[in-house]
Amino acid sequence: MDTAKYNLWKPEYAVDIDEIDSQHKKFFEYCANLVQLADVSSEGQHTNADLVNMTFKLRTYGLWHFMDEEALMLKHKYPQMIAHIREHNRYFVQFFTHIEKEYNIFTLDIAALMNEDSRSIALFLSGFAVGWLEQHIYTKDKSLAEHLKRKM
């Protein structure tokens, strides 16, 4: 198995705030778990319940991470806080649109083995989350980190 394929974190994502970097690494790990799930599900070992479970873990972890970032913004009076929080909200709107409207994972037979369609969903959701987080780190989190370094 190509384990490098599942290491989605890149050093250039670091914002040099340990709390944020460790959470970002975990977020990328959840995304990698979706990719790995898609890969190994072709061996007939995983059901759609595994896909739904991993999707909900990614959703929940994202919410938890955003809440932590937003608490830091409030505590340190980050001037671009509102724009940053709006980006977090947009992520959830887009994520929920993907899982409820475009792919409607809630209609999957959770007892059924993952098939090509559910593998595609896993890969799409992972790719979406990775792409969004990468862009968010470069356009929002690096600026936040610079502010935090001056205030902490």
Query: Do the domain assignments include residue 4?
Result: no
Query: Do the domain assignments include residue 36?
Result: yes
pLDDT of residue 5: 79
pLDDT of residue 152: 83
Query: Do the domain assignments include residue 103?
Result: yes
Query: Do the domain assignments include residue 97?
Result: yes
Number of domains in the chain: 1
Query: Do the domain assignments include residue 5?
Result: no
Closest CA to 10 of 19, 1, 27: 27
Q: What is the CATH number of the domain that holds 56?
A: 1.20.120.50
With tokens 């007892």, the residue in question is 111
Query: Do the domain assignments include residue 2?
Result: no
Query: Do the domain assignments include residue 7?
Result: no
pLDDT of residue 4: 73
The helix-helix angle for 116-136 and 18-41 (nearest 10°) equals 160
Pull the structure tokens for residue 71.
């608490």
pLDDT of residue 2: 60
78: left (phi over 0), alpha (psi -120 to 50) or beta: beta
Range of the structural domain that residue 125 is part of: 17-151
Query: Do the domain assignments include residue 131?
Result: yes
- Point out the residues of the chain with pLDDT beneath 50: none
Closest CA to 65 of 94, 30, 16: 30
* DSSP of 17-30: -HHHHHHHHHHHHH
